[in-house]
Amino acid sequence: MGLPNRQDSEAALQPWQQALLRAATAVPVASRRRLRSFCPGQSCQLTPQETDLQEEPAAALLDLSSNDYLGLSGHPAILAAAQQELSCSGLGAGASRLVSGTRAVHVRLESALAAWLGRERALLFPSGFQANIAAVSALADRHSLVLADRLIHHSLLAGVRCSGAPLQRFAHNDLADLERRLNTARGASAQQRLVVLSESLFSMEGTSPDAQALVALCERYGAALVLDEAHALGVMGSGGRGLGYGQPGIALISGTFGKALGSGGAFLAGDATTIEWLLQSSGAFRYTTALAPVLAAGAAAAIHWLQQQQSSGQDPALLLQQRAARWRQAIAAAGWPRPAGNGPVLPLLVGSEQRALELQQRLERQGLLCVAIRPPTVPQGSARLRIVLRHDLPAGSLSRLLGALGVP
């Protein structure tokens, strides 16, 4: 499957379809995206359509790419909680939360989240993309000014566009640059609403800001801070509660359940006033079917598991960070650039798209799944392998990776 033969088919298409075909055909072959069913660790029966999309039959691969940082998507306790809710509530919620979609599990999860994160209230969303659009739209309008880290997630940029607010982008994790811009904005207007957007763990960079300094800076200039904790939740901060934990000056924490918590869906957490405003005003919340109850149950069970681990003296987040430090050291010792940051995302910068794809294919031949990340997801000239650590990786995984990478 894929693109039709242009010469044979273009004449039969409507003008708008012809324009799309020409644009799609112009994408270089090396840069073209393809859907592949990797099915790591299990046999996989593909449909005929999926088989057409495969470059070669899927084989069992050691997963070094997914965001299932704690391996909870297959944890027995999480699966049992999801199965129990499935039997009780069915698969889908059937309607918006403001119609008939609110279930008891939603309320329980929101309460548990707020307590766990030290926030007054939390509100659930079906996806992190929706949550981020809702967060920016709730705090900013065309009269506001948004200042965003240059490498923030596309969903936050989509939120800025929805809000209509003008945008300035500060250098990545550069608080001096941010302060210069805040100072200029405050000098021009003492009353204009300023909104700052950042992440606690940048998913393609592996880097983190100084969260405490960031919060203090925003408070000094009266700016509302939205901190996206999607990739930090469960693996960074005290008890895996993210780098924003214990920082009451954050206007909204955005987080997801589809990464370290092994489920799906997302949330926003903040003070009671801000969450109430979201409830009353957010189209991204109002006009969507509620988070599937089975996913909410799985997320609640994952939070409970993390709390149990911490109360028993275990800290999966800390153990994962320690493992990440060892991997970074070993990768650098092998002659490769040391991956930035200190969390479970280890970007191995290689530069060209072709080089990144060649390394991905080399690793696949050695039984390792480590996907190449290319523009526009990352800036031109900074294609990379995104190595991701998980709590449940088997012993010897690092040696396998270094052996497959070989000499730089």
Computed from CA positions of residues 303, 304, 305, 307, in that sequence, does the dihedral angle turn out positive or negative? positive
Phi and psi based region of residue 206 (left: phi greater than 0; alpha: psi -120 to 50; beta: remaining): left
Phi and psi based region of residue 340 (left: phi greater than 0; alpha: psi -120 to 50; beta: remaining): beta
H/E run at residue 345: strand 345-351
Distance from C-alpha of 156 to C-alpha of 134, rounded to nearest angstrom: 9
Distance from C-alpha of 126 to C-alpha of 130, rounded to nearest angstrom: 7
Task: Calculate mean pLDDT across residues 250-256.
Answer: 98
The domains located in the chain, with CATH, are 34-70+316-405 (3.90.1150.10), 76-310 (3.40.640.10)
Percent of the chain clearing pLDDT 90 (strictly above) = 81
Instruction: Output the CA–CA distances (angstroms, integers) from residue 145 to 94, 136, 161, 195, in the order listed.
Output: 37, 11, 12, 6
H-only helix segments in 102-169: 104-117, 128-139, 154-163
Mean pLDDT score of the chain: 92
Contact 96, 289 (CB under 8 A): yes
Q: Which stretches of 158-314 are assigned E, i.e. beta strand?
A: 167-170, 194-199, 223-228, 252-256, 266-270
pLDDT at 47: 47
DSSP 64: -
Which residues carry out catalysis? 67, 153, 199, 203, 228, 231, 259
Query: 44 pLDDT exceeds 50?
Result: no
Confidence class for position 2, pLDDT limits 50, 70, 90: low
Task: Calculate mean pLDDT across residues 371-396.
Answer: 93
Q: What is the pLDDT of residues 157-172, one digit of tens each?
A: 999 999 999 999 999 9
Look at the chain and count its residues.
Answer: 408
Task: Name the 3-class secondary structure at 257.
Answer: coil
Q: Which of 167-171, 187-191, 380-384 has the lowest mean pLDDT?
A: 380-384
Confidence class for position 50, pLDDT limits 50, 70, 90: very low
Confidence class for position 8, pLDDT limits 50, 70, 90: low
Distance from C-alpha of 26 to C-alpha of 284, rounded to nearest angstrom: 34
